[in-house]
A = this chain, B = another copy of it.
Amino acid sequence: MTNEALEFRSDNCGRAAPEILEALINCNSGNALGYGGDSLTTELHTRMSALFEQSVRVFPIPTGTGANALALAATTTPFSAVYCSPESHINTSECNAAGFFGSGLKVTALSGQFGKLDPSSLQQAIATAGKGQAHKSQPAAINIVQATDLGAVYTCAEVTQLGAVAKNNGLVLHMDGARFANAVAHLGCSPAELTWKAGVDILSFGVTKNGGLLTDAIVVFNDEIANNIGFHLRRAGTIWSKMRFASAQILAYVKDDLWLRLARQSNGAATILANAIAKIEGARIIAPVEANEVFLSMRAAALDQLAERGVLFYRRGPELARLVCRWDTTEQELQQLILLIQQAAEHAKS
């Protein structure tokens, strides 16, 4: 609603895609049994199973935090350790949700490059964790973020390597796909190739950041895991009674590749931005721009000026800014931002 400021804080500042709002209008006729007993929720399973090329179970859930925490709780014990990147959302930004849903499970961060887990560090950590020793948190699950919290995208081969570590050690592989669409759009692979074919057991399927309103989803590739999830969701107060209005959003989201079109728009905006920055002296991109996030390093004074001139962004350090493009970021916004970055770089030089 702000018009003058340039919004680059998060993709969740953006609008809902009109197609998704329209789906809400369209599904508002007649009665429908609550809690997922409606026909749209049934259709959702069929549609998502087609999309993922195998029979999957889909659970709409209000937020990505809920999806992550519940996916981990449903696949671990209270004495478990979950491995993740230090930058991962579950480790930095979910206010102990994993520990809450998981009855005290432990989140264990392992350093890697650009928010990725490294298969050999992971294997090493699991091997020395003390499996079977009662004193030790027991290795149970691996959490990877796709695209990562530093804007990079795991290739299918990289996920497959981590999937192999998971399987060899009896762990579950969970993918936090808050920006799953951005990753698929970037790689040009199929959703199946990036998930269950690579060893992913359970996926937080992001919708909100990429044009949705009020729902994300958990997608489960393993029936044994799925059977108890309904109880976990219910006791967490995350099953809507008027579920049709959530299912309708997700159906519209995947219809006619809308999700990939929207993701290509935000990815494309980030690429334009990154390419422009690459040419600016005094500005530097410090992480791969493979999705819709740009990590920009500039002198503190330059970032200060950017902020003063109305660019909205989060600072990740005195000389580090995160800039996020939305599906609805305009060409004009990009050009204004690039100009302001040039001026800020110029200013900080002097």
A→B interface (CB under 8 Å): 1-3, 7, 9-10, 12-16, 18, 21, 24-25, 28-35, 38-39, 61-70, 77-80, 92-107, 134-138, 208-209, 212-215, 228, 230-242, 245-246, 326
Q: Which residues of B contact A61 (CB under 8 A)?
A: 237
- 5 tightest CB-CB pairs across the interface, nearest first? A66-B237, A99-B104, A12-B241, A65-B237, A100-B104
Which residues of B have CB within 8 Å of A69?
237
Residues of B within 8 A of A38 (CB): 1
Please pick, from B31, B68, B245, the residue contacting A13 in the complex, using a CB distance under 8 A.
B31
Please, which residue of chain B has its CB at the minimum distance from the CB of A329? Answer: B31
Complex contact A242–B213 (CB within 8 A):
yes
Q: Which residues of B contact A78 (CB under 8 A)?
A: 96, 99-100, 103, 232, 235
Contact between B240 and A62, CB atoms less than 8 A apart: yes
- The majority secondary structure among interface residues of chain A is loop
A12-B241, A21-B25, A99-B105 given. 16 additional CB < 8 A pairs?
A1-B38, A7-B31, A9-B33, A16-B242, A64-B241, A65-B237, A66-B238, A78-B99, A78-B100, A78-B103, A79-B232, A79-B234, A92-B136, A95-B138, A95-B234, A208-B241
Q: Are A234 and B100 in contact (CB under 8 A)?
A: no
- Residue in B18, B30, B77, B99 whose beta carbon sits within 8 Å of that of A1 in the complex: B30
Q: Are A235 and B97 within 8 A (Cβ)? A: yes
* Contact A214–B240 (Cβ < 8 Å): yes
List the B side residues contacting A62 at CB < 8 Å.
Answer: 62, 214, 237-238, 240
How far is the CB of A16 from the nearest CB of chain B, in Å?
5
Contacts A135-B234, A238-B66; A99 near B97 (Cβ below 8 A): no
Known contacts being A12-B34, A96-B79, is A134 close to B239, with CB within 8 Å? yes
